[in-house]
């Protein structure tokens, strides 16, 4: 299977969104890689802390009302901008792409619930409980976006360095799978009030779209152009710096 991203490990942790063969492959990789086990343990600590944080009692029906408003927008947005590479992707990749999209959509919804539920729920919910709910939502957002950026960094490095045709095909498919989640994470960041993060993710989207739609026939010119672009814009440095910032902020919120 392709390199295991933090998003894969998050899905493995929650036992959700992976085909049995994918889950078995990750389990096998974990058994033979101390480094991969350490990555999973670090993610587990963050996600377990976020899951354990108490939330205020939500207003009954609030989640359904929020989802009824968000779902048509998310589906319409995904239908308006389907990456061409996504339509060519092998059928085996589709469940994984849908799972990643669903995880991002649910996170966007969860962040909205985390910040809105207490403000629309019963009056006995105190400010301290709401602050804990907000912090939990932000920790989850930070963890998911940091994992997303690590996957994006891998896509940029692979595309810039070139490689065998099969590897580049897989890289295009991975870039296509990141487009939808990138868009939803940007929306979640906007709702969370992190304008800088939302702006960076919005500026990252055209790069992911370009990589998702890159044709094999143009590999030499496009590789050179991508290397020039990465060098001139310091995009890789910005992606890594933002990962560091999110990891640091997440630790501060624990």
| Span 188-245, pLDDT tens digits | 888 778 888 889 999 898 888 888 887 665 555 556 677 777 777 788 888 888 888 8
Which residue range forms the structural domain that includes residue 60?
6-253
Residue 133 vs residue 62, higher pLDDT = 133
Is 80 inside any structural domain? yes
Closest CA to 157 of 221, 213, 226, 96: 226
CA dihedral 72, 78, 80, 86 (to 10 degrees): -150
Considering its fold, how many domains does the chain have in total? 1
Over residues 167-193, the pLDDT tens digits come to 677 788 888 889 888 888 888 888 778
C-alpha–C-alpha distance, residues 234 and 198, integer Å:
18
Would you put residue 152 in left (φ > 0), alpha (ψ -120 to 50) or beta? alpha
Is 170 inside any structural domain? yes
Tokens representing 156? 């940029």
Is 1 inside any structural domain? no
Per-residue model confidence (pLDDT) at position 92 = 39
- Spell out a b/e string for 67-79, using b for 16 or more CB atoms within 10 Å of the CB, else e: beebeeebeeebe
Whether 151 and 7 have beta carbons less than 8 Å apart is answered as yes
Is 50 inside any structural domain? yes
Residue 119 has pLDDT above 80, yes or no: no
C-alpha–C-alpha distance, residues 29 and 34, integer Å:
9
C-alpha–C-alpha distance, residues 26 and 215, integer Å:
30
Over residues 10-41, the pLDDT tens digits come to 778 877 668 889 899 999 999 999 888 888 88
Is 126 inside any structural domain? yes
Per-residue model confidence (pLDDT) at position 29 = 93
C-alpha–C-alpha distance, residues 228 and 222, integer Å:
10
């Amino acid at each position: 299977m392709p390199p295991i991203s933090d998003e894969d490990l998050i899905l493995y942790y929650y036992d959700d969104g992976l085909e049995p063969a994918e889950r078995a492959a990750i389990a096998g990789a974990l058994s033979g890689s101390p480094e991969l086990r350490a990555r999973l343990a670090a993610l587990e600590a963050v996600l377990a802390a976020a899951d354990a944080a108490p939330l205020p009692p939500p207003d009954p029906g609030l989640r359904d009302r929020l989802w009824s408003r968000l779902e048509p927008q998310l589906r319409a947005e995904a239908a308006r901008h389907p990456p061409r590479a996504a339509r060519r992707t092998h059928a085996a990749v589709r469940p994984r792409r849908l799972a990643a999209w669903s995880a991002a959509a649910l996170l966007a919804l969860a962040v909205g619930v985390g910040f809105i539920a207490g403000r629309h729920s019963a009056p006995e919910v105190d400010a301290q409980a709401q602050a804990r709910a907000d912090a939990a939502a932000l920790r989850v957002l930070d963890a998911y976006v940091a994992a997303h950026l690590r996957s994006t960094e891998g896509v940029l490095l692979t595309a810039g360095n070139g490689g065998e045709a099969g590897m580049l095909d897989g890289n295009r498919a991975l870039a296509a799978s990141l487009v939808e989640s990138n868009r939803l994470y940007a929306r979640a960041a906007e709702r969370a009030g992190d304008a800088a993060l939302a702006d960076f993710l919005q500026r990252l989207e055209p790069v992911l779209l370009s990589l998702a739609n890159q044709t094999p026939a143009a590999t030499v010119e496009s590789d050179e152009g991508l290397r020039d672009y990465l060098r001139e814009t310091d995009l890789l440095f910005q992606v890594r710096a933002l990962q560091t910032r999110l990891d640091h902020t997440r630790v501060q919120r624990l």
